Amino acid sequence: MTILLTGSSRGIGAAIHQALTDAGATVIGHKSSNGGSASGLPADFANPAGPTALWNAALEQAGGTIDVLINNAGVFEASPLGDGDWTAQWERTMRINLTASAELCRLAVLHWQARGFAGRIVNIASRAAYRGDSPAHWHYAASKAGMVAMTKTIARGYAREGILAFAICPGFTMTGMAEDYLSSRGGDALLADIPLGKVADPAEVASVARYCALEAPASMTGAVIDVNGASHVR
């Protein structure tokens, strides 16, 4: 079982990488251009050529077959309405969070169709897809809502070919990015909005991703799974 995992260098991605490796899967990781010294194939998703370059490099490393794609890479960057570069920031977030994921999903589906293989896609979206986010994060919420809709479309379109798709919607998760956000939003007041009383640990999200990638029954395709401490229920 060979899995391509984007954004594997830290936070939720690093936890998913560990969970899958512990389960015996071969994981081809990816790091962004600012991924530091972490291992993984480099690709800048802000560059339109980045996703295809990553797919081709991963396919070569995998020996020609990738069984599962997990789209985890993304950015969460504030853009208040008064910013002069608001539109540019919107386009950057969409490019990295949604368009790059869509391009990789497309390449994966074509790969499996051409070989007559079954395959799985796991997209790491966000609670923001349903609940929205702060006034400075229109772009982030919209990108994650698009990812959920794309996942459902893939699931409905290719299930008969054995191509399955799942989305996971974490709420706040204690990565470095979330710690900064919690601090900026008042910390305790934000936690009071989570009935569980705490944000998720990356390992909790990773356990769901591992299940979707390796074990979830085919009839679950199209499922959107919440991991948010009951801060948003549907």
Distance CA(223)–CA(207), nearest Å, equals: 16
Whether 144 sits among the annotated catalytic residues: the reply is yes
Distance CA(171)–CA(156), nearest Å, equals: 25
44-59 CB burial, b ≥16 within 10 A, e <16: bbeeeebbeebbebbb
Quote the pLDDT of residue 53: 98
Determine which of 59-63, 87-91, 109-113, 186-190 has the lowest per-residue pLDDT on average. Answer: 186-190
Give yes or no for residue 186 having a pLDDT over 70.
Answer: no
Whether 211 sits among the annotated catalytic residues: the reply is no
Distance CA(139)–CA(99), nearest Å, equals: 13
| Tokens read off for 185 | 């939003």
103-144: per-residue pLDDT in tens?
999 999 999 999 999 999 999 999 999 999 999 999 999 999
Quote the pLDDT of residue 185: 61
Q: What is the mean pLDDT of the chain?
A: 93
Give the mean pLDDT of 53-70. Answer: 98
Give the mean pLDDT of 160-171. Answer: 98
Share of the chain above pLDDT 70, in %: 92
Pairing of strands 2-5, 26-31: parallel
Q: Identify which of 181, 232, 168, 143 has the alpha carbon closest to the alpha carbon of residue 19.
A: 168
Quote the pLDDT of residue 188: 75
Quote the pLDDT of residue 37: 47
Give the residue, 177 or 200, on which the prediction is more confident.
200
Quote the pLDDT of residue 217: 98
Mapping DSSP onto H, E and C, the string for the chain reads CEEEECCCCCHHHHHHHHHHHHCCCEEEEEECCCCCCCCCEECCCCCCCHHHHHHHHHHHHHCCCCCEEEECCCCCCCCCCCCCCHHHHHHHHHHHHHHHHHHHHHHHHHHHHHHCCCEEEEEECCCHHHHCCCCCCHHHHHHHHHHHHHHHHHHHHHHHHCEEEEEEEECCECCHHHHHHHHHCCCHHHHCCCCCCCCECHHHHHHHHHHHHHCCCHHHCCCEEEECCCCCCC
Quote the pLDDT of residue 110: 98
Quote the pLDDT of residue 15: 97
Give yes or no for residue 177 having a pLDDT over 70.
Answer: no
Edge-to-edge strand ranges of the sheet holding 26-31: 41-42, 26-31, 2-5, 68-71, 119-124, 163-170, 224-227
Quote the pLDDT of residue 35: 53
Give yes or no for residue 36 having a pLDDT over 60.
Answer: no
The residue from 130, 140, 158, 181 that is catalytic is 140
The residue from 31, 130, 144, 158 that is catalytic is 144
